[in-house]
Every structure is written in structure tokens, then in C-alpha cells.
Chains A and B, each alone.
Chain A
Amino acid sequence: MHEKTIAQLSAGLAAGEFSSEELTRAFLERIARFNPRLNAFITVTAETALVRARAADQRRQRGEAGPLTGVPIAHKDIFCTEGVRTSCGSRMLDRFTAPYDATVVEKLNAAGAVMLGKTNMDEFAMGSSNETSFYGPVRNPWDLEAVPGGSSGGSAAAVVGRLAPGATGTDTGGSIRQPAALCGITGLKPTYGRVSRWGMIAYASSLDQGGPMARSAEDCALLLGAMAGFDPRDSTSADRPVPDYAALLDRPLDGLKIGLPKEYFGEGLDGAVAQVVEEAITEYRKLGAETVEISLPNSRLAIPAYYVIAPAECSSNLARFDGVRYGHRCENPKDLLDLYTRSRGEGFGAEVTRRILVGTFALSAGYYDAYYLKAQQIRRLISDDFQRAFQQVDVIAGPTSPTVAFKLGEKVDDPITMYLSDIYTIAVNLAGLPGLSLPVGFATGLPVGLQLIGDYFAEDRLLNVAHRYQQATDWHLRAPAAFA
């Protein structure tokens, strides 16, 4: 059963080929068997999963099942789950049991999806390799010595390792798309405001967005349909209807205009990756699409601007972790200052500490204009670049990541090199646009992802464009031999 996509599992459940309980047991067994090797899950909720699976089976008997009813999924451990540890990959929240469900969790529960557990991630979603997790690195199922990407590395590894057919992720600078690319799955970062941020632990509030990670665009469409929608609890949630993504997948691509930003194919892009991406673009031409070279002239400023805005917001967002009301508290604080500095110093790892320091500095007196304000102006320029491009083209395509998955430990001591892994994904978050990564082949035996970028709220178009490709190819169905 584990080799099936969500769409296939949904059909199997509907046809009575297997029950949700059987399906859930099958995935729980795979998790028990493979997770020690992958470290994709921080917490496995086997008991509640079985309870919910049985409830889903009953719901089906009552004739009230939807497409996700009874389908097992995993949640990135950044989403609050009532009564279940929600660690955010940090020692700070190692013993934090969330008292409420995130909207995304609530919505997927309501759709009848069965939570298998909480997936590993870079600490507070800060990282591109999953090596900053307090719970240790996740391994890439294609090469256990390679990183799965990050920060949603646990979700990506779980999906490609067939420990879960689909998972939630969050993307602040590429945290859904980059691990999706490095693990060879499909991942979608929706338009900012499309998916509620309520209950999703904030890293950088103006950039964070939750989204689906699964094998195929069709599966992502099913998941996004359940996750998206207006939430009155999130002031930045967009009040507009959610299209029936699954119903819009099959539109032909004839006449589709794909923009290829010249800045995404230049220096820094690995040659083998470039070749695979070119082949994917050739495939799109065969499918009827037309390609046009475009320019996003301020692309190179995305990383500099991001490393001001995201740390600035994170330095403030993470101030609430102070050892007073929940979370890690140091032993025997001698005074209030000691309580704060030691609880936080012990609770946060190196990368989180680094970003808090950068952000604190960027906002501090005398530097605000030079850093924060400047970065927000650059953000506008980057966003304007995209808007100009969308007057010319329907979607933008390019590599998701400049390289395939790199080795564990390879970049861990060099933050700047690590930050460059997100060179093609970050601008999308700054502009708030939707972006999707789909697997389009292999370079040196590791998956390569193609990134599709759409205009605001064009998730349906991105899913359609990815789906048509997946109808014509089978890269998204490939599994690492050891996990097939």
C-alpha cells in the first residue's frame, strides 16, 4: 500500500480495498522500521493515529467520507497539535505539549486525514539541511550520507521514504521547495495568506507559509484543498474562495507561456542540475508550452534582503521563549536576567542564536534604516520584478536549488554557503508568490527539482502545470531502492 499516492489510496479506501486502520498500521510499521535510519519523525502518535483511523472508517461507513478521509499524513513539528509535543525541532520546546491545534491541523483533521506523527525539521525552521534540529539530522533516503534539505526535511524524507504518503511543511525562504527538490517529491508553497498561520510557530511572520508536500501535484492539490482558506484568527489570511484544485489539474498546456529568468541559469548553478532542468523545459515545449527568456534583475539581492528581514522578525518572534510560561527553563536562576539569558541560551541552538543576534542588531538603534528599511525597499524591487514578468508570462520556471543534496556536515560550519542553497527560492517568499517544486530527473544519482513560480493565488495553475508534466513522465514515482 505504501507505494501508492494519496489519490490512489483515496480511491482504494473508497473502493473498500483496504481500511484506514489497515493503511495506518502499514505506515506505522514502516515508520517503526525505517525511521531509526532516517530520523524523519520526532514524535510518532501511533495510538491516536489508530483511533482516528477507526473513526475515519466509521465515517466512511456513514457515507460521510471526503477524499482525504482515512488517509495517513504527517505534520511538520512546527504546527501545534493539541495534546501532542510540538517541539519545533528545538530543545526550547522539547517538553512543550501544545494546548491547541493549528488551523492547518484542525482542517486536515476535519477532512478525516489521520496524523501519523510530527516530522523533524531545522530548529524553528531555520536551516536548509535539517542539521540544526535538536533531534539530530534527517537523512536523505536517496543517500543516507546526504542531507534531505530543510527546514521541512523530515516531511520530505518521510514522503520519499514512503513513511507517509503526504505531509505538511512550511516555507519561509524555500523550506518546502528545497527539501522537496533534494528528496525528489512535489512541494508547494502557497501565496502568502492562502493558508492560515494560526498555530504554526512563527519564524518570520511576513514570509512564513504552510503548504503540502507529497509525491505528485495531484496529491498536493488534494492536501492544499483541505489546508487552504480564510481564517478569522489570522489577520494576514486572505478572504477569498478556495478553488477546487483537483478539478483544475487537467487543463492542457497549449499556449502556456513559461518565463525562464536568465538570472536563474547563470553562475552558481551546478552543470548537471542545469542539464536536467533544461530537459524538463524541453518536455514542457513538447506539451505545448512556449518558453521566453525573462529577467528578474534584482534576484541577487534576495538573499541579502532575506537575511535582514527574516532574522529581524525572528529576533522578535522568538522573544516569547523566555522560560516563564512554558518551554525550557534553566535550573536555579539566580535572578531574572539569569533566568532569561540561560533559559534562552540553553534552549536555542547555534543557528537560531545566530539569526536572533543578526536580527537584534539589524533592528537596533542607529542601524534600522541601513538594514531593515533598506531590505524592505529591496523587497519591493524584487516583487516589482516578478510583477513585470507576469505581464509577459503565465509561470516562471527554473531550478529549485543550485545543487543536488549535499553531504551531511559539508556546509554546517559555513552559514553563508548554506544560505546560498536557497538562492532561487527566497525571492518568492519576499514577494509572497506561490512556488512549487517538482522532481524532473537525477544528477549524480540524486533528485533534481524544477521550480515553478506563479502569480498571486495561481496555485491552481502551478498544480496544473506540474500535473501535466507528471502525466507525461514518471520521475515523481521513483523511489529510493531501499525504501521502495
Chain B
Amino acid sequence: MSLGPAEVAKIAHLARLAIRDEDVPAHARNLSAILELVAQMNATNTAGVAPMAHPLDMAQRLRPDAVAEPDQRACFQAIAPQIEAGLYLVPKVIE
């Protein structure tokens, strides 16, 4: 599997990453090389093998329904890039 500049641009958009035009060919080259490395998997037949999402065979633990978090807005917003009236500000969201 090899990726061209247009595909790199599409993936970069999906990942919301600005990539400089001059870096696109290098990314295309590296990504293609990585996908080639990854393609070694294809030689192995995995039909019927259960996918493994987690190393441990455990079930999800359930938490009691209790309010346990105090208001820490001031602390959290002290590290925010832009706030006003307790809200995080972003360029206008268009629906």
C-alpha cells in the first residue's frame, strides 16, 4: 500500500493536522514505508483468530453512582488559552 500526496492531505485533514506543502512528499514516503512494514502481517493467516483488544482477560469494573467531583473550574481554566464568563472560547462554530 503506497500513499500519494492527495491521500496524505486527506488523512491530515481527518486528523486536523496542518502539514506544510514541502513536507507532504516526505510524509507520503514515510507513510508508505510504514504501511509496507505493516503489510508483513498479510502473510499470516488469521482466519478464526479472536482479535485481542486488551492484554488481560478482565471485565469492566462498575463505579457506584455518586457525585464525587467538586467544582474546580478556576483551577482548570487557569491553564486555558481563552476563556470568558466561565466558557472556553473558540472561533465561531457554524452549524
Contact = CB atoms under 8 A, between A and B. Distances in A.
Question: Is any CB of A less than 8 Å from a CB of B in the complex?
Answer: yes
Interface of A: 95-97, 99, 191-193, 206, 232, 235-236, 238-239, 298, 300-301, 303-305, 307-308, 315, 319, 322-327, 329, 333-342, 344-346, 348, 353-354, 356-358, 360-362, 364, 371, 373-381, 383, 415-416, 419, 430-433, 456
B8 A193 contact: no
Contact of A336 (B7, B76, B81, B93): B93
Which of A300, A322, A357, A358: most chain B Cβ within 10 A? Answer: A357
Given A235-B61, A361-B31, A326 B79 contact: yes
Contacts, number: 167
A308 B33 CA distance: 13
Taking residues whose C-beta sits less than 8 angstroms from the other chain, chain B's interface range is 35 or more
Contacts of B19: 345, 353
B41 A374 contact: yes
A427 B42 CA distance: 18
A415 B32 CA distance: 11
B58 A238 contact: yes
B52 A379 contact: yes
Nearest to B39: A304
Nearest to A328: B81
B10 to A, nearest CB: 9
Nearest to A322: B16
Interface string B2-15: 01000110011111
Contact of B17 (A329, A333, A353): A353
A371 B31 CA distance: 14
A301 B82 contact: no
B66 interface: no
A134 B2 CA distance: 29
Contact of A358 (B31, B79, B82, B92): B31
B37 interface: yes
A123 B13 CA distance: 22
A431 B41 contact: no
B27 to A, nearest CB: 7
A378 B18 contact: no
B22 to A, nearest CB: 13
Contacts of A416: 33-34, 37
A333 B91 CA distance: 7
Which of B7, B33, B51: most chain A Cβ within 10 A? Answer: B51
For the residues of A in contact with B, the DSSP-based class is: helix
Interface in B26-71: 27, 30-31, 33-35, 37-42, 44, 46, 49-56, 58, 60-61, 63
Contacts of B34: 307, 354, 358, 415-416
Contacts of B14: 360, 364
B85 interface: no
Given A193-B56, A304-B41, A336-B90, A356 B46 contact: no
What 4 A-B pairs are tightest by C-beta distance, nearest first?
Answer: A432-B55, A345-B18, A376-B51, A377-B46
B15 A325 contact: no
B51 to A, nearest CB: 3
B76 A236 contact: no
Contact of B51 (A239, A307, A373): A373
A344 B18 contact: yes
A304 B79 contact: no
B15 A378 contact: no
A462 B88 CA distance: 48
A6 to B, nearest CB: 29
A415 B61 CA distance: 39
Contact of B91 (A301, A339, A379): A339
Contacts of B11: 357, 360-361, 364
A415 B16 contact: no
Contact of B41 (A192, A358, A375): A375
A122 to B, nearest CB: 16
Given A360-B11, A456-B56, A335 B91 contact: yes
12 contacts: A99-B76, A206-B53, A235-B61, A301-B41, A325-B76, A329-B82, A340-B16, A341-B16, A357-B8, A362-B38, A378-B44, A415-B34
Given A97-B79, A374-B42, A381-B46, 16 more contacts: A96-B79, A99-B72, A193-B55, A232-B61, A298-B44, A304-B37, A319-B16, A325-B88, A344-B16, A357-B17, A361-B3, A376-B53, A378-B44, A416-B37, A431-B55, A432-B56
B61 A357 contact: no
A179 to B, nearest CB: 22
A206 B56 CA distance: 10
B21 to A, nearest CB: 12
A263 to B, nearest CB: 14
Given A206-B53, A380-B51, A381-B44, A354 B27 contact: yes
